[in-house]
Amino acid sequence: MLSRIQSAPGFIAALDQSGGSTPRALEVYGIRRDVYPDETTMFALIHEMRVRIMTSPSFGNGKIIGAILFDRTAEGAVHGQPVPAFLRERDIVPFLKIDKGLEDQADGVQLMRSIPDLDRVLHNARSAGMAGTKARSLIHAPSPSGIRAVVAQQFMLAKRIMDRGLVPIIEPEVHLESEDRERCDAILTRELATQLDMLSEDRQVILKLSLPVHPNLYEDLIDHPRTARVAALSGGHSRKQACAELARNSGMIASFSRALLQDLRSTMSDAEFDRTLGAAIEQIYRASTEKVANAIET
For position 296, what pLDDT does the model report? 45
Q: Which of 171, 173, 191, 245 is catalytic?
A: 171
Q: Pairing mode, if any, of strands 109-110 and 93-97?
A: unpaired
pTM given for the model? 0.94
Question: Which tens digit of pLDDT belongs to each residue from 80-120?
Answer: 999 999 999 999 999 999 999 999 999 999 999 999 899 99
Q: pLDDT digits over 255-266, tens only?
A: 999 999 999 999
Confidence of residue 191 (pLDDT cuts 50, 70, 90): very high
Question: Exposure string (b/e) for 30-65, b if CB count within 10 Å is 16 or more?
Answer: ebeeeebeeeeebbebbbebbbbbbebebbbeebbb
**Per-residue pLDDT tens digits for 264-280:** 999 999 999 999 999 99
What is the reported pLDDT for 197? Answer: 98
Structure confidence at residue 169 as a pLDDT band (50, 70, 90): very high
The mean per-residue pLDDT over the stretch 45-52 comes to: 94
> Residue 203 above 90 pLDDT?
yes
What number is the average pLDDT over the span 197-224?
A: 97
Distance CA 205, CA 80 (A): 32
Annotated active-site residue in 63, 97, 134, 208: 208
pLDDT at 19: 65
The pLDDT > 90 percentage for the chain reads 89
Active site residue 208: yes
Report CA-CA distances (Å) from 16 to 115, 221, 247, 266.
17, 25, 24, 18
- pLDDT for 22: 87
Beta bridge partners of 15: 69
Confidence at residue 297, expressed as pLDDT on a 0 to 100 scale: 45
Residue range 234-263: average pLDDT?
A: 95
- Asked if pLDDT for residue 298 goes beyond 50, the answer is no
Residue 56 has pLDDT above 70, yes or no: yes
The residues pairing with 38 across neighbouring beta strands, listed in sequence order, are none
d(CA 279, CA 37): 33
CA 296 to chain centre: 22
Query: Hey, what domains does the chain have and what are their CATH numbers?
Result: 2-289 (3.20.20.70)
